[in-house]
Amino acid sequence: MYSCASLAGVPVNDLFMSIQGIAYTMKNYNTLMKMVHNVLEKNMLLQMQKEDMYILSALTSLYTVLTGHKPLVSVTGNKIFSSYREGIEAVLLADLETAQLLRSLYFAAEVGRISGLFAFFFTLKNIQATNMNYLLLINKLNKPG
């Protein structure tokens, strides 16, 4: 007997790691929003957090359908950053890693609708990484060092 995941061609471990990465990023957005003093940057972070909530919900639902149980994600404690810039760099790295996982899921998925979903999500994570690069750049220009 085949599982739903094997029939869809979705590597469940990569799906779980994507969920874990997004949960980590979302937790770090909360820390960053406490450190930011610029309304524009705070709004950008809020928008990216909202997008991640959508992605997390969809991937969690897909994981549940494919495996028959909800993923047990554990992101313990808030990350303490020594600076806002360090936090941006951590979220940027997590966004890029998650985008790479979602890209590999896109290529592995054998069902068109599922691969389309992964394509949308990895594109969105790449856009978020671009936004984080922008925040990093303007913070480096405004506060050298």
Instruction: Express each pLDDT in 16-57 by its tens digit.
Output: 999 999 999 988 998 899 999 889 999 999 999 999 999 999
Domain membership of residue 48 (yes or no) is yes
Residues of the chain with pLDDT under 50: 1-2
Instruction: Give the separation between CA 18 and CA 29, rounded to whole angstroms.
Output: 17
* Residue whose token pair is 């984080």: 132
Q: What is the pLDDT of residue 77?
A: 57
Domain membership of residue 96 (yes or no) is yes
Number of folded domains in the chain? 1
Q: What is the pLDDT of residue 1?
A: 41
| Alpha-helical runs (H) found in 1-145 | 4-8, 12-35, 39-67, 84-108, 112-142
Instruction: Give the separation between CA 32 and CA 45, rounded to whole angstroms.
Output: 8
User: How far from chain centre, in Å, is Cα 99?
Assistant: 7
Contact 51, 99 (CB under 8 A): no
Give the largest CA-CA distance in the chain. 59
Q: What is the pLDDT of residue 40?
A: 92
Domain membership of residue 79 (yes or no) is no
Instruction: Give the separation between CA 71 and CA 91, rounded to whole angstroms.
Output: 22
Domain membership of residue 4 (yes or no) is no
Contact 103, 122 (CB under 8 A): yes
Domain membership of residue 135 (yes or no) is yes
Domain membership of residue 2 (yes or no) is no
CB-count exposure of residue 22 (10 Å: 0-12, 13-18, 19+) = buried
Which amino acid appears at position 132 of this protein? Answer: M
Domain membership of residue 131 (yes or no) is yes
Please report, for the domain that includes residue 91, its CATH number: 1.20.1260.10
Per the structure, the complete domain to which residue 54 belongs is given by 10-69+85-142
Domain membership of residue 75 (yes or no) is no
* Residue whose token pair is 């922008």: 134
